[in-house]
Amino acid sequence: MEQDQDDLPVMRIRARPGAYACGTETIEQILRAALNVLVEEGSNAFTLRRIAAECGMKVGNLSYYFPHKENLVEELLEAILNGYSDMADEELRDASDDPEERLMCGIAFTLDDIRSKLTTNLFPELWALANHNEKVDRLVQDFYARAQERIALSVRAVNDTLTEEECRTVALFISATIEGTTIFAGHAKPWEPKMPEIKALAIQSLMHLVKTLRSDDLRAFRRSPARLAA
Amino acid sequence: MEQDQDDLPVMRIRARPGAYACGTETIEQILRAALNVLVEEGSNAFTLRRIAAECGMKVGNLSYYFPHKENLVEELLEAILNGYSDMADEELRDASDDPEERLMCGIAFTLDDIRSKLTTNLFPELWALANHNEKVDRLVQDFYARAQERIALSVRAVNDTLTEEECRTVALFISATIEGTTIFAGHAKPWEPKMPEIKALAIQSLMHLVKTLRSDDLRAFRRSPARLAA
Amino acid sequence: MEQDQDDLPVMRIRARPGAYACGTETIEQILRAALNVLVEEGSNAFTLRRIAAECGMKVGNLSYYFPHKENLVEELLEAILNGYSDMADEELRDASDDPEERLMCGIAFTLDDIRSKLTTNLFPELWALANHNEKVDRLVQDFYARAQERIALSVRAVNDTLTEEECRTVALFISATIEGTTIFAGHAKPWEPKMPEIKALAIQSLMHLVKTLRSDDLRAFRRSPARLAA
Amino acid sequence: MEQDQDDLPVMRIRARPGAYACGTETIEQILRAALNVLVEEGSNAFTLRRIAAECGMKVGNLSYYFPHKENLVEELLEAILNGYSDMADEELRDASDDPEERLMCGIAFTLDDIRSKLTTNLFPELWALANHNEKVDRLVQDFYARAQERIALSVRAVNDTLTEEECRTVALFISATIEGTTIFAGHAKPWEPKMPEIKALAIQSLMHLVKTLRSDDLRAFRRSPARLAA
DNA sequence: AATGAATGAGCGTTCATTCAT
DNA sequence: TATGAATGAACGCTCATTCAT
């Protein structure tokens, strides 16, 4: 299930009313080239000229489809993040019916995904961009909200003693653990070879948390914050 | 211990052979301005012009101290990352002697730190930069290696059934969990208000992991990876 | 008789051999849009894109009717200048039979016209264009030649002591006085409220000139130019 | 006194505090090149690249001195219009003491000036620009306000039966007559050879107006506007 | 030590134009 | 007829860098 570097990323590209088929194809080429530049060379190299060169077009034509660079960025992020969401939905559809197994599978699947070059390189760019670009921030936060909502449902199915709010907090914690792993054990990272052990730790630790957590555990800490308790 | 936004970040600025004190002060001004621009406006605005304006100098003078922008970036990252390391060392020096408490405190301290604007904004930039800049990558990985070495020592002190290697893996997992939290519950992030509960989860979950983990748990998973087991 | 800002300018659009009525309508729409852009936003905004937007068409279609922007400019100027000429002819047709009254009326009529937004904004653009565009220059000069010919006829009718050549010179002087007023007392100009007094001065001064001028007055000055006499 | 085409236009260039001598010279070169492009090729060719080529510099250096093109335009117009004002002041200083002669001389001088390529080409550009650029409009209107104030003083000296307001109206009329002549008898215009006769007409007609005008003449027309009277 | 000056390359964007559909 | 698509050139502007002062 690990995404190969050569695999073209799956993008859900917004349909355009009345556009020629040719134009839609061109848009996809541009977005794919843009994604490639962003992933392979980083946001510093993410220029219209570089993207145009990547897809063998002229700068003016990119501006024809995306009057402002901002438009291209937004559409690219929308497409790629929707692609990720679609991939997750599909994975869930094929997964087991057993709640624990579903949750475990989801964690494993995502940890596999972050080892792809695409994911390892793309998401840190998004995190950085989001801090100074409101629209990117909204897109990224919405994406994670959807992802964590999926996790929260699984958490609830495993442990129904938790409130919905608590499930979402646990889901965020699970999500944070996985995302954080990207920067240490993602594609070409020094700890990438240790990913099997890390995955083991993550699954064991997070599954135990989900299964044993009680509402009181959260409430207790809220009353006496860790840094005072410590 | 939470770092205030107004607190100037602590930087350990590299001494220059034969440099006048005056020059050192100027360098500090430049680096501080550079850090400020990077944190407040992101890498897009991280230009010599913008930095020069921030510290009331002319662009030419920045080039006098840092012949190439690359030099400035490296020295800045070195200084700020060393500053973070110093801060951690200091915190450990003042911490309890009890191993569990030391570890718990370290986790709590770091989770507090990621709520500062500085940390929330700076590190995603570093993660993104590191993916396409070898020198930045080395600096960042070295920084995390030191951080995780500190954690690994604490882990070993709490659970001496684990090998050094296993302790390092656990330390990386702890580190990943904390870093990952940055993008969801860092400064001005939507989940920032939930940080107390997240901290509770992190401490409870990670401490339990450290205390109960056995070498077999890691070996078992290595033989049968999660994605097959799932 | 003052041209209202809301009045659509009258254009005499050149018939195209073998053109369908539909095409003629489209051409008129384009020319009207072009004129509107030129008058409202100036020659800087006078681009095919802007004009196309103004008449709800696509740029490509403008190029279909006017293969080169130059063609559009020429046809536009021809149409609008012919429209002005037609308007003047019509005004003369309705005017009194008394020579003096005809001349006075013509001056007043033109001074009224330069207060329209159309005239105030259009003609300075033409004067500027004509200085660096031979075709525009020819169109504009021809237009003024026709206008001054009309004035010259009136001048002769009032004062038959002057030669035709002298009448044309006087007509040019009258025309220059009126055109020059455009930039000071035209639409939205600071002196526009003073237009009644200016009109009074113009009529009194110019009519007196026409009535009293003798050929010797011109010859005398030719022999001893003002700048030496002064 | 006629300004030769080869004569460099006189510009009153704003002093810059703390600038190197070199920089001031460069600014003058830029402004002179800019003026040359505007006069010789019109506002369509008035681009930073064209100007840079004209003075043998690179575009970036123009931007160094004038961060925005707007700044260059404003400074250029200020310098050249102030230059014209200075020239007029100087001319007045050397003129006769006799009021009539002073006025006549001023008219003749200005009519001579509009035959220069610079004036013939520059001013129509300004008139056109002013209609869609507020700052240009202000500069141009201020320039003419100063010019007409000078004329108004002469008018008053010749005919003290007029109020100040009336003198200003007459001055505007004189100014309009002269400016309007630019487009017909300016440099390279078809009627340029007739300039002696036109100058004769202008002086005879305008001087007679100034000498014989009575306040009643203006008041009468104000009560019964020409277009109704006609 | 610091600045003013200048460069060359590149940025996002807009332009008139061409052409297949 | 009219549009979508694409181009190549140019636009104003910003960039890191160099260098004389």
Give pLDDT tens digits for A51-89.
999 999 999 999 999 999 999 999 999 999 999 999 999
- The stretch D137-145 carries a mean pLDDT of 98
Contact D124 C128 (CB under 8 A): yes
B15, HSE (Cβ side, Cα atoms, 13 Å):
2
Segment C186-195 shows an average pLDDT of 97
Q: Tell the residue number behind the tokens 């599909």, with chain if given.
A: A90
Sole residue written with tokens 């962003």: A38
Mutate to test the interface with D, among C101, C121, C205 (most CBs of D within 10 A): C205
D139 pLDDT band (50/70/90 cuts)? very high
Q: Round to whole Å and give the CA distance between B48 and B60.
A: 9
For residue C71, the model assigns a pLDDT of 98
Residues with Cβ within 8 Å of residue A107, at least 6 apart in sequence? A174, A178, A202, A203, A206, A207, B226
Cβ within 8 Å of residue A119, ≥6 positions away: A3, A113, A182, A186, A187
CA distances from residue D215 to B126, C197, D226 in whole angstroms, order as listed: 80, 11, 16
> For C164-199, b where at least 16 C-beta lie within 10 A, e where not — what string?
eebbbbbbbbbbbbbbbbbbbbbbebebeebbbbbb
A181 at B interface, C-beta within 8 A = yes
pLDDT of residue A38: 98
Cβ–Cβ < 8 Å for D106, D92: yes
Query: Which pLDDT band, with edges at 50, 70 and 90, does D23 fall under?
Result: confident
Give yes or no for residue B8 having a pLDDT over 60. no
CB A35 within 8 A of CB A121: no
Print the SS3 string covering C166-210: HHHHHHHHHHHHHHHHHHHHCCCCCCHHHHHHHHHHHHHHHHHHH
Which token pair is B92? 């450990």
First-last CA distance in chain B: 42
User: For D156-175, what is the mean pLDDT?
Assistant: 98
Q: Which two tokens stand for residue D166?
A: 């009336």
Closest nucleotide C1' to the C-alpha of D22 = E5
Name the band, by pLDDT with cuts 50, 70 and 90, for residue C81: very high
Check CB contact of D29 with chain C, cutoff 8 Å: no
Q: Where are the alpha helices (DSSP H) in D66-194?
A: 69-94, 99-113, 117-130, 134-158, 164-185
C208's CB contacts (< 8 A; 6+ apart) are: D205, D208, D209
Query: What gap in Å lies between CA B60 and CA B25, rounded to an integer?
Result: 17
Residue B228 confidence (pLDDT): 43
| pLDDT, position B220 | 58
Q: Is A201 an 8 Å CB contact of chain B?
A: yes
Contact C230 D101 (CB under 8 A): yes
pLDDT over 60 at C2, yes or no: no
Give D50 CA → F12 C1' in Å. Answer: 12
Percentage of chain C modeled with pLDDT above 90: 85
Does an interface of 3+ CB pairs under 8 Å exist between B and C? no
What are chain B's partners, defined as 3 or more CB pairs within 8 angstroms? A
Report the pLDDT value the prediction gives residue C219, as an integer from 0 to 100. 79
Q: How far apart are the first and last CA of chain D?
A: 42
Q: Which of D219, D227, D129, D218 is nearest to D173 (CA)?
A: D218
* pLDDT of D199: 97
pLDDT score of C19: 56
Name residue, tokens 């990547």.
A54
Domains for chain C: give ranges and CATH numbers. 1-77 (1.10.10.60), 95-230 (no CATH)
Three-state DSSP class for residue D58:
coil
Neighbours of chain A (3+ CB pairs under 8 A): B
3-state helix, strand, coil in chain B (%, to 5): 75, 0, 25
Per the CB < 8 Å rule, is C206 touching D205?
yes
Looking at chain C, list the stretches that DSSP marks H as alpha helix, in order from N- to C-terminal side.
21-41, 48-54, 59-65, 69-94, 99-113, 117-130, 134-158, 164-185, 195-212, 215-223, 226-229
Instruction: Show Cβ contacts of residue D101 under 8 Å, excluding neighbours closer than 6 positions.
Output: C230, D95
Q: Is D167 on the interface with C (CB under 8 A)?
A: no
Among C94, C93, C96, C88, residue whose Cα is nearest residue C119: C88
**pLDDT band at B126, cuts 50/70/90?**
very high
B222 vs B161 pLDDT, higher one: B161
Mean pLDDT computed over D53-80: 98
Question: In the numeric block, which tokens belong to residue A119?
Answer: 């994911």
The beta-carbon contacts of C30-35 under 8 Å, at least 24 apart in sequence, are C30/C55, C30/C57, C30/C62, C30/C65, C30/C66, C30/C72, C31/C72, C31/C75, C31/C76, C31/C79, C32/C8, C34/C72, C34/C76, C35/C9, C35/C11, C35/C76, C35/C80, C35/C118, C35/C122
- Tens digit of pLDDT for each residue in B176-219? 999 999 999 999 999 999 999 999 999 999 999 999 999 999 87
B213 CB neighbours in chain A (<8 A) are 201, 204
- Alpha carbon distance B95, B19 (integer Å): 37
pLDDT at residue C89, rounded to an integer: 95
Are chains D and C touching, using the cut-off of 8 Å on CB pairs and a minimum of 3 such pairs?
yes
Percent helix / strand / coil, chain D, rounded to 5: 75, 0, 25
CB of C207 within 8 Å of a chain D CB? The answer is no
Cα–Cα distances in angstroms (integers) from residue A23 to residues A27, A61, A64, in the given order: 6, 11, 10
Q: How far: B66 CA to E6 C1' (Å)? A: 20
What whole-number percentage of chain D has pLDDT above 90? 85
Residue D8 has pLDDT above 70, yes or no: no
pLDDT in tens, B30-68: 999 999 999 999 999 999 999 999 999 999 999 999 999
Q: Which pLDDT does position C230 carry in this prediction? A: 37
Dihedral sign for Cα D45, D48, D52, D55, please. Answer: positive
- Which whole number is the average pLDDT over C171-192? 98
C9 pLDDT band (50/70/90 cuts)? low
pTM: 0.92
C109 to chain D, any CB pair closer than 8 A? The answer is yes
C24 Cα to chain D: minimum distance (Å): 30
Distance CA B24, CA C6 (A): 70
State which amino acid sits at residue B162.
L
**Nearest-CA neighbor of C126 among C115, C137, C110?**
C137
**Taking CB atoms and an 8 Å limit, are C218 and D199 in contact across chains?**
no
State the Cα–Cα distance between residues D14 and D27, nearest whole angstrom.
10
A172, B194 in Cβ contact below 8 A? yes
Task: Please count the other Cβ atoms lying within 10 Å of the Cβ belonging to residue D125.
Answer: 23
Ranges under pLDDT 50 in chain A: 1-6, 223, 226-230
In the predicted model, what is the mean pLDDT of chain A?
A: 91
